[in-house]
Amino acid sequence: MNRNLKLLIVDDSAFIRKILTNIFSADEDFIKIDTAQNGKSALELVAKNDYDVITLDVEMPILNGIETLKKIMEMKKTPVVMLSSLTTEGADITLDALEYGAVDFIAKPQNIFTVQGERLANEIKDKVKAAARVNVMSYMRHQNATLDRITSNEVETKKQTLFQKTASGDIVKKIIAIGTSTGGPRALHEVIPSIKGNINAPVLIVQHMPKGFTKSLAERLDSFSSLSVKEAEDGELLKNGVAYVAPGGLQMKITSVDKDKFKINLENSAPVNGHKPSVDAMMESVSQSKVDEVVAVIMTGMGGDGANGLAKLKDVKRAVTIAEDESTCVVFGMPKVAIQTGKVDKVLPLREISREINKIMGV
C-alpha cells in the first residue's frame, strides 16, 4: 500500500487541475497535493520539493510536457504519469514521453466531465499509485540499455528489411501470444526488435492502450524490427513473420478458417478484466483455435489480465509459458498473477525473453 504520498499535478487547464485535486484529496494515501499551470512553474516546485509522483500534461504553453519531463529527469528522477489527448499527435508525443522516462500515461477522455466518474477516477488513482512505487533510477537504466540496443540494431535491421520483412506464408503451425500493460511499450521495444524476422509463426500482441495509440505503437515497433509489425485488421489471415498489435477499443481474437490457417476477428464487445483489448480475450481465443503449439508471454503490467488465458493455453495446447521477472517489470502485477497460477514454465528478465522465443522457434 502507498501511504503519505506527495503529488504534483501539472496542467494548463484550471478545470483539470481542480478535478484531479478533488480525486486525490478524497484519498487518504495522499498527504500533499501541489499544482502547477505550466512546465516552468512545475520545475520551480520540483526544485523545492521531493514529490513521490507527478502527473504531467503533454500539451502546455511556455514549456511543453516533453521538455518539462526531460528537465524533471535531469533534476530528480521522479515517477511521472503523462496526461494525453486522444489524438494521433497526442499518441506520438506520449510514446516519446515513455521513451524519455515517463512511467505511464492517462488518456484524457473527449468528454472531460467523465473524469469525475468513479470508474475513471479509480483508474487514475491506481495508475498514479502504481507509478509512485516505481524506482525511476532502475527504470531509466533498463530504458537506456534498451534504447542503446535498439539504436545499435537499427542500421542492421534496415539493411535486412528487404530480405526479412516478407511474410513467410499463411500456413501457421505455431503462434506467439504476448500480453502487457503498464511499462509495456518499453518492454515491447526490448522484445519485438530482437525476435528474428524469419520466425515460422505470427505474433499476437495485446498492449492495454486506447484507440489511436496502438497504431502509433505498431508503427514504431515496425521501424525497429526485422518482423513486420502492424495494427491488426478485422478478417486478415495470420502470416508467419508478422506481429499484429490489437487495436485499442476492440477485442482481438483469432478463429480457424482451415487447417493451419487462421484469421483475426476484431470485436467491439465488452471489456474483459476491465480492458479492451484484453490479453485473456486474445489468449482464450488461441486456446479454442486449432493451432497446436503456442508460446505465451506475460510482461509488466497492473492487475491480472492474461493469467487465465495463459493457464488455459498451458492446459489445452503444447504451450511454453513465460512471465517477465520482477527485476525488470515496471509493475509486477500481471506476471505475478500469471506465476501464481502455477502454469508458468519460465520466469525471465526482459532481455532474455526474445532470446528464449528465438530458441523455441529454432531461429
Active site residues: 181, 208, 305
Interhelix angle 88-99/184-191, rounded to 10 degrees, is 70
Residue with cell 510482461: 299
Question: Which three cell numbers, joined as nine digits, stand for 340?
Answer: 501464481
- For the chain, state the CA radius of gyration: 20
Residue with cell 482481438: 252
Alpha carbon distance 100, 67 (integer Å): 10
Nearest Cα to Cα of residue 243 among 185, 182, 201, 297: 201
Alpha carbon distance 323, 179 (integer Å): 10
Q: Give yes or no for a contact between 341 and 307, defined as CB atoms under 8 angstroms apart.
A: yes
Phi, psi values for residue 203, rounded to 5° = -120, 125
Q: Give yes or no for a contact between 193 and 350, defined as CB atoms under 8 angstroms apart.
A: no
Alpha carbon distance 252, 244 (integer Å): 10
Task: Give burial (CB, 10 Å; 0-12/13-18/19+) of 209.
Answer: buried
Bond preceding residue 210 cis, omega within 30 of 0: no
Nearest Cα to Cα of residue 179 among 267, 275, 49: 275
Q: Give yes or no for a contact between 89 and 62, defined as CB atoms under 8 angstroms apart.
A: no
**Single-letter amino acid code for the residue at 3:** R
Question: Which three cell numbers, joined as nine digits, stand for 115?
Answer: 473524469
